[in-house]
Structure 1
Amino acid sequence: MQLEFHQVDAFSERPFSGNPAMVYRLDSWLADELMQHIAAEHNLAETAFLVREAQGWHIRWFTPTTEVPLCGHATLASAHVLFEMYNEPSERIDFIGKTGALSVTRENGLLVLDFPAMVPTTAAVTVELERALGIEIVDVYGSVELMVVLESEQAVRDCKPDMLALSRLPWPGVIVTARGEQYDFVSRYFAPGIGIAEDPVTGSTHCSLIPYWSSRLGKLSLTAFQCSARGGELFCRLEGDRVKIGGHARLVASGKLLLG
């Protein structure tokens, strides 16, 4: 059996930046164990699998070690593949994931994710968290992930966490964020507990970052930069209980996986 794959750098116009995702458009679902093996073989932050169903494209996302409930950059990459490689005719693609309905729309040269807003709530600063991050913390919030506010963009860029200590915290991952210098806000995301030491650009964390920074800055439209080594730009809007997360995407590779 042969399976066609496409690798896309999401949230970037240039190759070798943004966040790489692998995309498989399938005729029917593979066994969960096989999809996990495929994701581990590619060893990217996320591998997305798509199957066409009556309500839209059913999408599932796998890290090298586990399936996750929501992923932004691999959804953006999947839409890019469907538009550019499989000639999806509309300007909007509807997806169904574990968290419900999602969509990606083409708007003014961007691909724009429509995701649920996840408003973070205040959480306690713990000794374990301070030791794991090794940096002064301003505030801590929780939603799906733990969100840690730092004093400056430079503090976010300088953060060098203890990955083993982070993996022991009772959260899938930890976001560090601060007000930006050229952008409204910046962030980084660490998730060693699910097989991702640092994710280059993370769409799903912005489900919490956008409501927080929108309230803090008094703006509904925001620009964001995830300042990992690869880096990526995100163009954000808060629309009620939804967030819009826009970005570019670049196809960098296509091929076939040989099974059996």
Structure 2
Amino acid sequence: MKQKIYQIDAFTTTLYGGNPAAVCILEKWLANDTMQKIAAENNLAETAFAVAKDDHYELRWFTPEVEVNLCGHATLATAFVLYNYYAFKENTLRFISPRSGELLVQKNDSGLLTMDFPTDVVTSATEQPNITEAIGKKPLEIFKGKTDYMLIYETQEEIEAMQPNFHLLNELDCRGVIITAKGNDVDFVSRFFAPQCGIPEDPVTGSAHTTLTPYWSDKLNKNILTAKQLSERGGDIQCEYHGDRVKISGNGVCYLVGEINV
């Protein structure tokens, strides 16, 4: 069987920037093992699979090693594919994730895509010596969300200079670790590490901004924020805090359209 596949650079207007995601729009669900093998073969942070169901699309995401609960950049990439290659005409695209519920994506006249995600609920965490050792520098504060730890630092330069120990990070009991600080030219900056999921450093992590946005909204006393993820590829994100929901906006660029054998 031949299956169409797309590779989209998400959260960027520049080819080879942002975070690449593969997207497969399926007629029906493949076996879990098959989807996991496709994701491993792609060897991208995430491969998204979507199936049309009545007035929405069911959506799932796989890293090269595991299925994950939520992936922002691959959701944006899937919306980009549906709008640009499947002639989806409505302004609002409705996804249902078996693990994260309803996820809405809107497209404005300029092509900017805005995702509406549930806000992560975070709690203050006590000092975590194993996390500090893995990251390499003691944070000002530590928070624990649904799947990730978030570490707060003072400056953008600290975030840029961090060189974590990925072997130690891989031993932590969490999906990943977010490090963040106030930005020099944007409201806040971040990096995201998730070696447990086969992603040592994610280029741009939409889902992490469901954790980052409420924190920085409260800290900076504003609901609309600009953000940058300081990976090698880099990415630009616009965020809006709406209490129990976070709107995360970005652009996409198509790198590849092809077919795979399934």
TM-score grouping bracket, smaller chain normalisation:
over 0.9
Which AA in structure 1 matches 2:179? V
Partner Cα separation in structure 2 for residue 186 and residue 253 of structure 1: 29
Deviation of the 1:107 alpha carbon: 2.4
Which AA in structure 2 matches 1:169? L
Name the SS of the counterpart of 1:235 in structure 2. strand
Deviations 1:156-186 (A, max 9, x none): 1111100010111111100000000000000
Partner Cα separation in structure 1 for residue 210 and residue 109 of structure 2: 22
Which AA in structure 2 matches 1:122? S
- Of 139, 142, 148, which aligns to 1:140? 142
Name the count of aligned residue pairs.
259
Partner Cα separation in structure 2 for residue 108 and residue 154 of structure 1: 36
Are the counterparts in 2 of residues 143 and 208 from structure 1 also a CA contact under 8 Å?
yes
Moved over 6 A (4+): none
Deviation of the 1:239 alpha carbon: 1.2
Are the counterparts in 2 of residues 73 and 201 from structure 1 also a CA contact under 8 Å?
yes
Deviations 1:195-254 (A, max 9, x none): 100000000000010000000000000000001000000011011210000001001100
Taking structure 2 as the reference length, the TM-score comes to 0.97
Are the counterparts in 2 of residues 119 and 212 from structure 1 also a CA contact under 8 Å?
no
Which AA in structure 2 matches 1:250? V
Which AA in structure 1 matches 2:130? E
Partner Cα separation in structure 2 for residue 187 and residue 121 of structure 1: 19
Partner Cα separation in structure 1 for residue 157 and residue 127 of structure 2: 21
Deviation of the 1:54 alpha carbon: 2.3
Taking structure 1 as the reference length, the TM-score comes to 0.98
Deviation of the 1:121 alpha carbon: 1.2
Question: What are the within-5 Å matches in structure 2 for residues 59-208 of structure 1?
Answer: 59-97=59-97, 98-109=99-110, 110-144=112-146, 145-208=148-211
Task: List alignment gaps of at least 5 residues for structure 1.
Answer: none
Deviation of the 1:258 alpha carbon: 1.6
Which AA in structure 1 matches 2:180? T
- Of 239, 243, 248, which aligns to 1:245? 248
Name the SS of the counterpart of 2:212 in structure 1. helix
Deviation of the 1:135 alpha carbon: 1.4
Deviation of the 1:119 alpha carbon: 3.1
Partner Cα separation in structure 2 for residue 120 and residue 157 of structure 1: 24
RMSD: 0.8
Which AA in structure 2 matches 1:33? D
Partner Cα separation in structure 2 for residue 127 and residue 210 of structure 1: 25
Deviation of the 1:99 alpha carbon: 1.0
Partner Cα separation in structure 2 for residue 2 and residue 158 of structure 1: 44
Name the SS of the counterpart of 1:80 in structure 2. helix
Task: List alignment gaps of at least 5 residues for structure 2.
Answer: none
Q: Which moved more, 1:122-131 or 1:175-184?
A: 122-131
Name the SS of the counterpart of 2:86 in structure 1. coil
